[in-house]
Amino acid sequence: MVNINELVDVAGAVQSKRVFWDQEVYEQELERVFGRCWLFLTHESQIPQPGDFVTAYMGEDKVIVVRQRDGSIKVFLNSCTHRGNQVCHADSGNAKAFTCSYHGWSFGMDGELVALPLEQSAYYNRLDKSQWGLREVAKVDSYRGFVFGCFDPQAPTLAEYLGEMGWYLDTWMDGTGGAELIGPPMKSILRCNWKVPSENFIGDGYHVGWTHAAAIKVLGGPLAGLAGNAEIPFEDAGMQITSRHGHGFGVIWDGVGLLHDDPAYREYASAKAPEVAEKLGDWRAKFYMGHWNAGIFPNCSYLYGTNTFKVWNPRGPNEIEVWTWTLVEKAMSPELKREIVKQAIHTFGTAGTLESDDGENMETCTWSNRGPQTRKGLMNAQMGQLNDTEHPDLPGIVGKSFIGETSYRGFYRFWAELMQVESWEAVRANDATWKEPLIRGAANAKKERAA
Ligand code: UNU
Ligand code: FES
Ligand code: FE
């Protein structure tokens, strides 16, 4: 078992570089993070009819997500119970049954083993088919149409898992009648650890003006001034949020549609904002007009206001398979949706301008730690720590600035907690005190600055 206290100092806001490389850390993550958390699978709109399915990953485990006759969704390990062959090789489709390509065992859309070749002449009808259905994933649920699965029967409900983050997510998932994803997802490989893009998307406003300097200049919109950090955003230009289970985001006020300088999208959002205010109140109307870089723990990331939605599927400690959808609101016109899809492909698609900028950093953040001496070093996530605080109106912990690392700190706080505890029971036991090390870290940082 890895000693997590050697890898993450929550109050000190530093992490060991080993978290990006060590095989041992990775194996423990597959069990304790991916084996326990709710993991994003698909959006309901991708599988509307009975028999509609998509395949997906839950950590390294391949799964099939299938709409049932009664409208519910079931998720199965994509592995034949006969000799382990992958049962479904398609990305998506509609099927009455999944028939294995190796010996022909055939499973119904409910996972039951329904037929197999030579059942009578070779098995003498002695195979108990009821025992050899596809293995079903313990929990499946959807939040505002976003479908998640979870391997751990002891896990909280999806709504509890999202927790305070659900309050924020409702801003765009519920404020205007719902969001949806446009697929199928683009797929690509990056040679990086899954946490590098996860931490980047959840909280890194700092890199935008630097890593993306050329790209945001070329886009030429109102954010172009950030290029090279020539213009820095004013102090109250945004904030950062982190929540109980490691989810979080950074927001730039009034940033919706700004990256692409898209007047049609901005008009749409401005017209909808009063509806959001009416339904969810003024704070969330303000968030609705913002631009978010955000993460749902562990490996689902999105930009609201630029509208890319991603899962970083781990494929070993130093490789990921990136899946990218486009995020739109149902109420948008088909023309606006199409325009947003084009923009999302241009910026954060597989060959997107900003995607390529990020990819290079993400790979070298990972591979530079191949060296055992390098790996002994620490990484710093202390930016803005002294301003981390509770807020009278907003759930979670709030950081003062869009350019800060509040949500990084919250991501690694929960990661460290999950990696250490034996069960969800032990996580629940910490519910009342989870903010303590973050608040203590803020107080220490304040003291140090005063001294
Ligand atoms: O690159 C990003 N994650 C980003 C880009 C975040 C905010 C604005 C633009
Ligand atoms: Fe941030 Fe080097 S400046 S990783
Ligand atoms: Fe980026």
Summarised one tens digit per residue, pLDDT across range 13-58 is: 999 999 999 999 999 999 999 999 999 999 999 999 999 999 999 9
- Ligand 1 pocket test, pick from 198, 354, 358, 361 with the greatest ligand atom count within 8 Å of Cβ, gives 354
Q: Angle at CA 78, nearest 5°, toward 74 and 80?
A: 115
Active-site residue flag, 174: no
Q: Are 370 and 21 in contact (CB under 8 A)?
A: yes
Active-site residue flag, 103: yes
Sorting pLDDT into bands at 50, 70 and 90, what band is 231?
confident
Q: Say what the pLDDT of residue 284 is.
A: 98
Nearest Cα to Cα of residue 129 among 138, 139, 120: 120
Q: Say what the pLDDT of residue 176 is.
A: 95
Mean pLDDT of 166-190: 97
* Mean pLDDT score across all residues of the chain: 97
Q: Say what the pLDDT of residue 305 is.
A: 97
pLDDT at 222 over 90: no
Sorting pLDDT into bands at 50, 70 and 90, what band is 177?
very high
pLDDT per residue as tens digits for the range 110-131? 999 999 999 999 999 999 999 9
Residue ranges of domains in the chain, CATH in brackets = 4-28+164-450 (3.90.380.10), 40-142 (2.102.10.10)
φ, ψ of residue 80 to 5 degrees: the values are -65, 135
pLDDT per residue as tens digits for the range 233-290? 777 899 999 999 999 999 999 999 999 999 999 999 999 999 999 999 999 999 999 9
Q: Say what the pLDDT of residue 235 is.
A: 75
Q: Say what the pLDDT of residue 167 is.
A: 98
Which of the ligands is closest to the CA of residue 226?
Answer: 1
pTM: 0.97
Two tokens, residue 253: 């006020």
> What order do you get walking across the sheet with 139-143 strand by strand?
39-43, 146-150, 139-143
Residues of the chain with pLDDT > 90: what percent?
96
pLDDT at 416 over 90: yes
Q: Which of 103, 282, 391, 431 is catalytic?
A: 103
Q: Say what the pLDDT of residue 232 is.
A: 78
Neighbours of 117 (CB within 10 A): 12
Q: Which long-range contacts (CB under 8 A, 24 or more apart) does 137-144 make?
A: 137/58, 137/63, 137/74, 137/75, 137/76, 137/77, 139/38, 140/41, 140/65, 140/72, 140/73, 140/74, 140/75, 141/38, 142/44, 142/73, 143/169, 143/173, 144/169, 144/170, 144/173, 144/174, 144/178, 144/179
Q: Which of 204, 254, 262, 388 is catalytic?
A: 204
Protein residues with CB under 6 Å of any ligand 1 atom: 201, 208, 212, 259, 291, 293, 303, 354
Question: Measured between alpha carbons, how far is 371 from 369 in angstroms, rounded to an integer?
Answer: 5
Rounded to the nearest 10 degrees, how much is the dihedral formed by the CA atoms of 163, 169, 174, 180?
A: -120
Question: Measured between alpha carbons, how far is 180 from 331 in angstroms, rounded to an integer?
Answer: 10
Nearest Cα to Cα of residue 21 among 195, 150, 253, 181: 195
- What lies within 8 Å, CB to CB, of 333 at 6+ separation is none
Q: Are 20 and 196 in contact (CB under 8 A)?
A: yes
Atom 2 in ligand 1: which residue has the minimum CA distance?
A: 208
Which of the ligands is closest to the CA of residue 290?
Answer: 1
Q: Say what the pLDDT of residue 373 is.
A: 97
Which of the ligands is closest to the CA of residue 259?
Answer: 1
Q: Say what the pLDDT of residue 236 is.
A: 85
CA distances from 120 to 107, 108, 116, 131, 202 (A): 18, 20, 9, 17, 56
More confident residue, 224 or 134: 134
Ligand 1 atom nearest residue 200's Cα: 3
Sorting pLDDT into bands at 50, 70 and 90, what band is 221?
confident
- What lies within 8 Å, CB to CB, of 128 at 6+ separation is none
Question: Measured between alpha carbons, how far is 395 from 24 in angstroms, rounded to an integer?
Answer: 35
Active-site residue flag, 91: no
Q: Say what the pLDDT of residue 30 is.
A: 98
Q: Say what the pLDDT of residue 59 is.
A: 98
pLDDT per residue as tens digits for the range 325-351? 999 999 999 999 999 999 999 999 999
Q: Say what the pLDDT of residue 233 is.
A: 76
